Amino acid sequence: MTEALQRPDTAPTLVTVAPHSHATPRGAVTGAWIMGQLDVAAGLAGRKIAQGDALILSIKELTFHAALAAGAEFAIHADLTRRGNSSFNLFLSAWAAPDTDCTLIMSADVVLVAVDADGKPRKLN
């Protein structure tokens, strides 16, 4: 399954180091931490696309492809796959680069909606 996707050539939306503080006794970082980073990356990419606030409406699909080792560089790429009147889809792919090889850790199809100051849906510009 991991061979079907290649790490995008575009700059990642989020880059961090997988923390030891969120690792299991065997050294793999928990899925909860990874999903938190997905939320941050979707929010960062969503704000740029929406040119303002955007909220996650749903996660249509989320797949974990491999374990993430504590201490590995962790990068999430976001690609716009659909743009509607007020909502849009992002395909997020998360990659680990402990050395020179990159490993696909997680991928997700996320639906976001642009919102106004009151949190109500608004049209995209």
Which residue ranges make up each domain of the chain? 12-114
The fold of the 12-114 domain, in CATH, is Thiol Ester Dehydrase; Chain A (3.10.129)
Q: How much is the pLDDT for 65?
A: 97
Quote the pLDDT of residue 98: 59
**Which spans in the chain are helix H?**
31-50
Task: Tell me which residues of the chain have a pLDDT lower than 50.
Answer: 1-3
- 63 three-class SS: strand
